[in-house]
């Protein structure tokens, strides 16, 4: 049901993008009667981007009506198109064209706002993570269901939500553009929080690149000298199997035989979420 609902929302957005709105209730609504979507996943609006959109609307007109829902007493709540609404307000225009939807459930409104932003307005990584988390917490979805609902892979959703494991200072920096998503993912590969904070401070003060941070994160996963000594005593057949797996997967592999030769462990090492996704993809395919 959720999967079908997601497809229905995608179809609606697609029709609006293509101006295929026949049969929809489109009307001009005074801006003073429109209120923002309380479920809007976008929390930060770039004023310069709004001004650029306003200039485009002033020159070319509104290419796509916004989508609203009647709330009673002549008021309408935005479901999709808050940037366009803000651009109209900036221009001082009194009315805006809108597709009016009736009796849309909160779940559908959140998904429509989320999907529109994900497809067209580029939520920042923190907003995207919080939107997925809200969809899951408010509607009892797990990551797989949320991914299907939004037409994304489970790994996209899980990787997004994992960014919220960072300290508040780092999350705020990611939200504000002080560091980008690549830096944040690399920081998650640093298990020690104190060291993670030191590296974060270097990102800000020294303008470290994502590659620099990934290299620093990898130093926390190097084997100890004791491990290297035990490797020299490893069965040649086990070492050969490790080498073959490493060539096939492009990842560090450890085979640890158990006390019984018929059992043991295979450990795959990854150093970023992108690295994890790549290994999983290879294993599945």
**pTM for the complete prediction?**
0.52
Question: Residue 2's pLDDT is what?
Answer: 43
Tens of pLDDT, residues 169-216: 999 999 888 999 999 999 998 888 889 999 999 999 999 999 899 888
Task: Examine the domain organization and report whether 210 and 255 are in the same domain.
Answer: no
Domains in the chain, number: 3
| Domain final residue, candidates 61, 93, 122 | 122
Task: Examine the domain organization and report whether 28 and 88 are in the same domain.
Answer: yes
Report yes or no on 261 lying in a domain: yes
Task: For residue 31, name the pLDDT band (cuts at 50, 70, 90).
Answer: very high
Domain hosting 247: range is 223-284
Q: Which pair of structure tokens corresponds to residue 204?
A: 């800000």
| Domain final residue, candidates 187, 204, 220 | 220
Question: Residue 203's pLDDT is what?
Answer: 94
Task: Examine the domain organization and report whether 21 and 64 are in the same domain.
Answer: yes
Tokens 């809200």: give the residue: 134
CB of 140 closer than 8 Å to CB of 129: no
Report yes or no on 150 lying in a domain: no
Task: For residue 13, name the pLDDT band (cuts at 50, 70, 90).
Answer: very low
Q: Which pair of structure tokens corresponds to residue 144?
A: 């797989």
Task: Examine the domain organization and report whether 201 and 234 are in the same domain.
Answer: no
Task: Examine the domain organization and report whether 10 and 21 are in the same domain.
Answer: yes
Question: Residue 171's pLDDT is what?
Answer: 94
Question: Residue 30's pLDDT is what?
Answer: 93
Residue 144 CB-half CA count within 13 A:
0
Cβ atoms within 10 Å of 276's Cβ, excluding its own: 19
Residues classed as catalytic: 82
Task: For residue 166, name the pLDDT band (cuts at 50, 70, 90).
Answer: very high
Tens of pLDDT, residues 46-69: 788 788 889 989 888 888 888 888
Task: Examine the domain organization and report whether 276 and 199 are in the same domain.
Answer: no
Report yes or no on 72 lying in a domain: yes
Report yes or no on 148 lying in a domain: no
Provide the b/e sequence for 193-215 (b: ≥16 CB within 10 Å). eeebbebbeebeeeebebebbbe
Report yes or no on 105 lying in a domain: yes
Residue 29 CB-half CA count within 13 A:
24
CB of 162 closer than 8 Å to CB of 270: no
What's the Cα-to-Cα distance from 250 to each of 151, 198, 228, rounded to whole Å? 29, 30, 20
Task: Examine the domain organization and report whether 10 and 88 are in the same domain.
Answer: yes
CB of 158 closer than 8 Å to CB of 142: no
Provide the b/e sequence for 239-266 (b: ≥16 CB within 10 Å). eeebeebeeeeebbbbbeeeeeeeeeee
Task: Examine the domain organization and report whether 240 and 193 are in the same domain.
Answer: no
Three-state SS letters, 29-69: EEHHHEECCCCCCCCCCCHHHHHHHHHHHHHHCCCCCEEEE
Of 277, 272, 251, residue with least CA distance to 190: 272
Task: For residue 119, name the pLDDT band (cuts at 50, 70, 90).
Answer: low
Tens of pLDDT, residues 236-263: 888 888 888 888 888 888 888 877 767 8
Report yes or no on 84 lying in a domain: yes
């Amino acid at each position: 049901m959720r999967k079908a609902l997601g497809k229905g929302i995608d179809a609606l957005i697609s029709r609006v993008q293509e101006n295929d709105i026949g049969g929809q209730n489109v009307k001009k609504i005074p801006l003073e009667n429109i209120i923002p979507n309380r479920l809007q996943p976008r929390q930060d609006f770039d004023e310069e981007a709004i001004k650029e959109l306003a200039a485009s609307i002033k020159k070319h007109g509104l290419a796509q009506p916004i989508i609203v829902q009647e709330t009673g007493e002549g008021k309408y709540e935005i479901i999709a198109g808050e940037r366009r609404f803000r651009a109209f307000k900036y221009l001082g225009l009194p009315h805006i064209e809108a597709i009016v939807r009736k009796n849309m459930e909160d779940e559908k409104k959140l998904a429509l706002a989320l999907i529109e932003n994900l497809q067209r307005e580029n939520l920042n990584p923190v907003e995207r993570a919080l939107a997925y988390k809200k969809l899951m917490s408010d509607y009892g979805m797990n990551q797989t269901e949320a991914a299907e609902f939004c037409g994304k892979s489970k790994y996209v959703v899980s990787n997004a939500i994992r960014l919220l494991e960072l300290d508040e200072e780092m999350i705020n920096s990611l939200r504000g553009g002080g560091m980008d998503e690549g830096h944040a993912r690399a920081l998650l590969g640093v298990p020690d929080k104190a060291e993670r904070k030191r590296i974060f401070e270097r990102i800000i003060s020294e303008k470290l690149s994502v590659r620099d941070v990934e290299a620093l994160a990898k130093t926390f996963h190097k084997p100890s000298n004791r491990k290297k000594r035990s490797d020299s005593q490893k069965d040649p057949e086990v070492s050969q199997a490790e080498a073959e797996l490493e060539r096939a997967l492009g990842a560090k592999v450890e085979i640890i035989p158990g006390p019984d030769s018929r059992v043991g462990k295979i450990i795959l090492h990854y150093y970023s979420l992108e690295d994890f996704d790549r290994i999983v993809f290879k294993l599945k395919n």
